Amino acid sequence: MASDKKIILITGGNTGIGFEAVKALYKTDTPYEIVIGCRTVAKGETAIEELKKEVPQSPSTLSTLQVDLSSDESLEKAAETMTSKHGRIDTLINNGGAAFDAELEAKRMSMREAYNKSWDTNVTGTHILTTLAVPLLLKSTDPRLLFLTSGTSALAETERLDLPAFVRLNGSPPAGWPKQPVGPTGLNVTAYRSSKTGLNMLMREWHKILLNDGVKVWCISPGFLATGLNGANAENLKKAGARDPSLGGIFIKDVVQGKRDDHVGKAIRSDSIQPW
């Protein structure tokens, strides 16, 4: 059951930054048991096949686990499986998340639906999974808890207009109603942005709760990366200054491997601490 390898559970590990984090960890010489949490197990298995073609040799092992952040039943079963199969979790990477602003803009969701789903996935589901995982984390000799936040979540930076990216994100539209979409993707990102600010507070609460248990907790702010989140076109994002998603994966790997242990309890960027 228990393995000598560090056991890592990463939600949303089959795509985007999550997949890049799995890849970065899988490519190292350190052996890990990497469990890819995903809503659809088949997609996780496809991701594993793709990764093994790209990285044919690794001391680590890969597996999938059904994790749906919107389903308590799914999360409870995931915790039971981790308990029976692995006996502990050394690192929980709460990477899974979603943005529904595009659905709202396209009128495929009502405002209430889009906001509720944003918070349910990015905050509530993440909190429930973390709560279920704590007994397993406390069985680790080096427990780590990561929450994937966003550079757009910092309240202290909502007044910044000194760079083009901040102008796109924080600039006020012309007078009149309705307002035209804004933001780096050409969409209103208020629901996503608000939920990630809420996630920052969730991290601070878990840092407080688990401080005396020795659990290291962070929010990871990977930066403006060219992923398909919120229905964005990756190539268009690159033209707007987005970086390669692999940089986010390397950043997460560095945190797992102890390179930012001096910054626990913070929202961290790859080269700095993100202001609140």
What residues have CB less than 8 Å from 192, skipping those under 6 apart?
99, 100, 101, 118, 122, 150, 152, 230
SS3 state of residue 11: strand
Choose the catalytic residue: 58, 60, 118, 150: 150
Quickly count: other Cβ atoms within 10 Å of residue 38's Cβ: 25
Cβ(137)–Cβ(143) under 8 Å?
yes
Which listed residue (6, 117, 196, 266) is catalytic?
A: 196
- 101 near 152, Cβ under 8 Å? no
Please answer whether residues 266 and 274 qualify as being in contact, where contact means their C-beta atoms are separated by less than 8 angstroms.
yes
* Catalytic member of 192, 216, 221, 266: 192
Active-site residue, 192 included: yes
Based on the residue annotation, tell me whether 172 is a catalytic residue of this protein: no
Q: Which of 51, 71, 70 is nearest to 61 (CA)?
A: 51
Identify whether 150 is a catalytic site residue. yes
Positions marked catalytic? 150, 192, 196
